[in-house]
Structure 1
Amino acid sequence: MRILLWVGLLASGLLAACSSGTDTSSTIPSVPVNVQLDLRDQQNQALRFDNGVVTLPPTGLNGGGVKGIYVVRRNATTYFAFERNCPYQPYNTCATVTLDRSSHLFFRDSCCTSQFDLNGTVSGGPATRSLRQYAVSMSGSLLTITN
């Protein structure tokens, strides 16, 4: 009887450990993001055209995201900003999204082969979450990206 009790306790402990629901390996770390871009700056000229993309490197404390940020212009009044850290196994050192310009523009992670459209939505691969999106506001020619 005592052995059955121990076996039951051990089995329920293992089941609880397997179904904890808090998988930190699939959560992109949270870092502060506060970046400003001047659309008149020559470095940001791609953002003067629809579907233009600019890559921002991670900048440390006031940040440019975990692995950097992509800024995408959809049209003259709509801009998106996405984290470059892939949401699929984000702690892998190679889990960085790059811009693929082959036949049409999209983002891809060469590590896990996940693909994302220019809206940040998953379009292929093992990722089930969209790219992390940051808030973008515009005042004149100044874009501000925050979280």
Structure 2
Amino acid sequence: MPYTPVNVSLTLTNQQYVALRTVNGTVVLPPGSSGRPDAGGLKGIIVVRQAGNSYLAFERNCPYRPFDACALVSVDRSGLFLRDSCCNSQFNLQGQVIGGPSPFPLRQYSTSLQGSQLNILN
């Protein structure tokens, strides 16, 4: 899968991240080329709140045929899993494959929480 540097900081008290205040809440960040301070990844980042102060961050570029323009992972309408509408690979909210052709989980980025600041990097 293509590599891109990731170094993103989110202030979780900002209203745009309100979904991350609940368990399994998700926020989708734009790709790093957008020039925004909350942007990152090759095709963007999906941030998932686990329990308590635990957060996961995943690359939106699907690991199955990652060079396809349509290889983009999104949060399913149900909010219960992640999916790529191009190849129909499905991933749980921990980034693991639960269906479709992808043999690999989503690329995961490191997260660390300092106060209300969530840092995402690789």
With the length of structure 1 as denominator, give the TM-score of the two structures.
0.78
Secondary structure of 2:32's counterpart equals coil
Structure 1 runs, 4 residues or longer, greater than 4 Å off:
none
Aligned to 1:95: 71
Aligned to 2:100: 125
Please report how far the alpha carbon of residue 101 of structure 1 lies from its aligned counterpart in structure 2 after TM superposition.
Answer: 2.5
- Structure 2: unaligned runs, 5 residues or longer: none
Aligned to 1:50: 23
Please report how far the alpha carbon of residue 134 of structure 1 lies from its aligned counterpart in structure 2 after TM superposition.
Answer: 0.1
Higher relative contact order (CA 8 A, sep 6+): 2
Aligned residues: 119
Secondary structure of 1:44's counterpart equals helix
Secondary structure of 1:75's counterpart equals coil
For residues 41 and 32 of structure 2, the distance between their equivalents in structure 1, rounded to whole angstroms, comes to 7
For residues 25 and 16 of structure 2, the distance between their equivalents in structure 1, rounded to whole angstroms, comes to 12
Aligned to 1:141: 116
Mapped pair 1:35 → 2:35: no
- Structure 1: unaligned runs, 5 residues or longer: 1-27
Aligned to 2:44: 68
Secondary structure of 2:109's counterpart equals strand
Aligned to 2:90: 115
Whose helix fraction is larger, Structure 1's or Structure 2's?
1
Secondary structure of 1:89's counterpart equals coil
Please report how far the alpha carbon of residue 59 of structure 1 lies from its aligned counterpart in structure 2 after TM superposition.
Answer: 2.1
Q: Which is further off, 133-142 or 55-64?
A: 55-64
Please report how far the alpha carbon of residue 105 of structure 1 lies from its aligned counterpart in structure 2 after TM superposition.
Answer: 1.2
